[in-house]
Amino acid sequence: MQIDPKLIMIIAKHFNLKQKDINLSTSKDLIEEWDSLEHIKLILEIEEEFKIKFPLDIVPYITSVKAIQNEIEKLKA
Stretch that binds another protein, among 15-23, 26-34, 45-53, 67-75 (CB under 8 A): 45-53
Task: Find the shortest distance in angstroms from Cβ 54 to another protein.
Answer: 8
* By CB under 8 A, residue 53 contacts another protein: yes
CB 54 within 8 A of CB 75: yes
* By CB under 8 A, residue 59 contacts another protein: yes
* DSSP code string of 15-53: HT--GGG--TT-BTTT-TT--HHHHHHHHHHHHHHHT--
Catalog residues that contact another protein under the rule CB under 8 A: 37, 40-41, 44-45, 47-48, 53, 56, 59-60
